[in-house]
Structure 1
Amino acid sequence: MKNKIDSFFRPNNEQNDKENKDKKPSKKIGYLIILGLTGLLLLFISNMFSSSEEPEISQEPPSDQSEPTGGEEEMAGTDISELEQELSGQLATMLNKIQGVNDAEVMVNLDATSEQIYEKNQTRGQQTTDETDQNGGSRVVEDQTEESQVVLFRSGDQEIPLLVQTKQPEVRGVFVVAKGAETPSLKNQVIEAVSRVLDVPTHKISVMPKN
């Protein structure tokens, strides 16, 4: 009877031992998978940090960003030259319409730079002081102060003055040659017309007869 009982339970024990042997390799495989995933995660994190640090170097602004270039200066000179030609052509067209004046040519000479006007904060103060001298006399002393400061506004990392108006360059002189300018009355008419149109004093205008 005992042998039967032992034989009945023995196969189960052998089966359990076999199952335990089968489970051991599966646990090792699970550990290997976990280690592999951990390594991939660490590699991904290191790549992410290295890629996030690279743009900081490329975002540094150049040191000469605010310095004017030679191209900008050349462009400003070109604008002045174009304005001179435009004014000269308009004046010549107008003067040729004056009775007795024919074949007029005009040359207008402007200042090289225009005037820029910036917004300013002005502060005015007044202080009154009563003074008494040794003889008993008194006097009132008034002290007035006035300060102005250019208004600045922020653009990125820079503070830029607030530009209100840009005045066109002033006229340095006007030279006119025209047929009919040998007549004093016509010459005076030409000078007066140029002076009024350009708002320039007459001593800056030269009118000569044309051959």
Structure 2
Amino acid sequence: MLEEWLRGKGNGEQDLTTSRWVKKPLSKYIMVAAICLGLLALIWPIGNNSGQAKVPQTSTGKAADDMVKSEMTANLEAILSQVKGAGVVQVSLSLASDGQKSYASNSRDESREIREGNAASGSKVTNEESRVRDLAVSGGSPLLVENKTPEVLGVLVVADGAESPEVALRLMEATATLLRISPHQVSVMPRDNK
């Protein structure tokens, strides 16, 4: 039908398709192109992806673990290198996880009881329960309620001044205090000066 209309063949009846401007061959192709562009505009995805906050993924992978670990290591090295007599400090962390983030959610519980039957044949009771949980969003990003720091299993501190027992003790106490871990989880070693 579309092919016949484009070629100008038809039953010869006068209607909207046989007006003067549609009889011109070029105008028919322009109209078909406009319709195709309109359909394309309808199905094309809309949205600005640049600069938008994205919903966090459940599996962050090794890259996120390394980022958290390197950030904690850099902060710890910067602070411990300021301890009197410590000198150059290097830190190695052993983490159990990269932390945990809890997001706000809206939950809705629905319960419904359906009774069927009559007095002669008995009755049947059906209970339906449903729970709906939606992530709460503020400004296009999920609403963070709690951000737990990673669990530290152990720390190795290598410092130039760790040969001195006083400096080693101060480095161990500072590390244990900063990371909120027990002193037995911290090992302080002197640097090999070769």
Task: Provide TM-score, normalisation by structure 1.
Answer: 0.46
Query: Normalized per residue, which structure has more helix?
Result: 1
Task: Provide TM-score, normalisation by structure 2.
Answer: 0.49
Larger radius of gyration: 1
Which structure carries more relative contact order (alpha carbon 8 Å, separation 6+)?
Answer: 2
